[in-house]
Amino acid sequence: MAEIQSPLPGVFYRRPSPDKDPFVQDGDRVETGQVIGLVEVMKQFSEVQTETAGTLQEFRLQDGDMVHPGDVIAVVTES
């Protein structure tokens, strides 16, 4: 299993904008470098990407949660 950690402090978002669908859902297949969310710091958004291919097992944070560097955002089972 691989943990996807927050690179920055800020607010985590699972969707590109409030009226859009989430980037991915629990159980979805993800590829290396795929965007799974955004971290907002002072109105600037940074992408959170996977570092490995596999199945996204679960998000550990909800949309709109505060994050700190190193916080686990999601877990991917490698394949």
DSSP per-residue string spanning 24-75: --TT-EE-TT-EEEEEEETTEEEEEE-SS-EEEEEESS-TT-EE-TT-EEEE
For residue range 40-75, what is the model confidence (pLDDT) as tens digits?
999 999 999 999 999 999 999 999 999 999 999 999
For residue range 2-45, what is the model confidence (pLDDT) as tens digits?
999 999 999 999 999 999 999 999 999 999 999 999 999 999 99
* Domain ranges within the chain, ordered by starting residue: 2-78
Is the domain 2-78 a CATH 1.25.40.10 member? Answer: no
